[in-house]
């Protein structure tokens, strides 16, 4: 699999902007220079695995979001868990039965 560094840079920039963060702030969190982050976003520089990992942590995602364009299932679990917080006991029991039923389905 060949990585497309221009797409990686675009994904990093997109995520940074989604969070309303500046290059300076993300660079500070990742312990890299502003210029290096700018170069990564423009595909002028190729980030090391370590830098990709730091970027993922700083931008609250997973490295695969940048490398292949999809976030791991953990992010979806967070969203589901957040949605369950406000449910009462009866609603949670219904959700539990639904999850059991979905698990039994062949897809």
CATH number of 5-67: 1.10.260.40
Q: How confident is the model at residue 20 (pLDDT cuts 50, 70, 90)?
A: very high
Banded model confidence at residue 41, pLDDT cuts 50, 70, 90: very high
Residue 23 and residue 104: Cα distance in Å, rounded? 46
Task: Return the residue matching tokens 């995602």.
Answer: 61
Q: How far apart are CA 91 and CA 97, in angstroms?
A: 10
Q: Residue 61 — left, alpha, or beta (φ > 0 → left; ψ -120 to 50 → alpha)?
A: beta
The pTM of this model reads 0.66
Non-local (6+) Cβ contacts of 42 within 8 A are 9
Instruction: Output the pLDDT for position 74.
Output: 54
Task: Give domain limits for the chain.
Answer: 5-67, 73-104
């Amino acid at each position: 699999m060949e990585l497309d560094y221009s797409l990686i840079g675009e994904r990093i920039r997109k995520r940074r902007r989604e969070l309303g963060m500046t290059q300076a702030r993300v660079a500070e969190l990742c312990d890299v220079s502003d210029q290096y982050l700018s170069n990564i976003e423009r595909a002028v520089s190729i980030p090391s695995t370590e830098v990709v990992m730091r970027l993922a942590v700083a931008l609250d995602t997973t490295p695969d979001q940048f490398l292949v364009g999809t976030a791991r299932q953990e992010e979806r679990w967070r969203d589901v868990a957040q949605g369950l917080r406000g449910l009462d006991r009866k609603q949670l029991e219904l959700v539990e039965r639904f999850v059991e039923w979905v698990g039994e389905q062949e897809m």
